[in-house]
Amino acid sequence: MTDAKTLAYINLYAVLGSLENLCALDEDARALLTNKKPITIGFEVKGGPAATITFKNGRCRMEDGIGPCDVKLPFSSCEKFNGLIDGTVTPIPSKGFTHIGFLLKDFTKLTDLLTKYMRPDPEDLKDKRFFDISTSLMFYTIAVAIAQIGNNDEVGKFSAHHMVDGDILMSIKDGPKATICVRNHRLLTIKKAPESPRALMEFGSMELARDLFDGKVNAVACIGEGKIAMGGMVSMIDNMNRILDLVGLYLA
């Protein structure tokens, strides 16, 4: 079972948050924001998450909470915000109507491009560059989703409660890296490697990671075959993997 509040946190921080990585990895995404006036959009979900995304100089950055923004998009419930992501709800700005053109054009093009990478056509994946960007974006989205599930989903919180403090390195060999920070049973994902991880889990290749994300191979079998490396505090990895099992339910 999934719940709307947890899904809203995932949709904001993990899905829309991956626009940061899209702009860093894809030149077409950067081009949409290059030579354009900087713009900041605030998302505020009643009873749920709030964040501010700034688009500037071909880049995108998300910050927690509502800060000064050019456009403010309020949502009356987590369900309404989730509707924005699945395309069933059209948001109405409470601030920034003069910037509606950016929402309808550039922002929509960015989210469409993100969708193309996150739900790819099998033919597109035959292109190595597309494959690497798509897999990297999926990795970052999953890494952030782990923290949101651990903090908000009741089953996820049970696993987080059994995790000791420390940093977990989650990575793909020769690819993207992330840190799952555990503090007082709360999780935070940082999209870079930790300095001193207490535990680690590394997928042996981009291809293996992709097969795991797509459900084509069994993680336990890959661990037994040495295709997934684990080390450090094993209990942290065990509980993180229990949360990871829930990610697919929310991102399906």
Domain-ending residue, one of 96, 118, 140: 118
Report how many domains make up the chain: 2
Instruction: With both helix axes pointing from N to C terminus, report the angle between 234-251 and 128-152 in degrees, rounded to the nearest 10.
Output: 110
> Which amino acid is it at 192?
K
pLDDT tens across the length of the chain (252 residues): 789 999 999 999 999 999 999 999 999 999 999 888 999 999 999 999 999 999 999 999 999 999 899 999 999 999 999 999 998 998 899 999 999 999 989 999 999 999 999 999 999 999 999 999 999 999 999 999 999 999 999 999 999 999 999 999 999 999 999 999 999 999 999 999 999 999 999 999 999 999 999 989 888 888 889 999 999 999 999 999 999 999 999 998
> Which amino acid is it at 231?
G
CATH of the domain at 230: 3.30.1050.10
Among 19, 58, 24, 23, which Cα is nearest to 38's? 58
Q: Which domain holds residue 224?
A: 150-251
Same structural domain, 83 and 182: no
For every residue of 78-108, DSSP letters joined together read: HHHHHHHHHTS-----SB-GGGHHHIIIIIH
Alpha-carbon distance values, 81 to 114, 127, 139, 248 (Å): 18, 33, 23, 20
Tokens of 53: 């995304």
Contact 180, 143 (CB under 8 A): yes
Contact 114, 22 (CB under 8 A): yes
Same structural domain, 68 and 166: no
Residue 100 lies in a domain: yes
Same structural domain, 175 and 109: no
Residue 132 lies in a domain: no
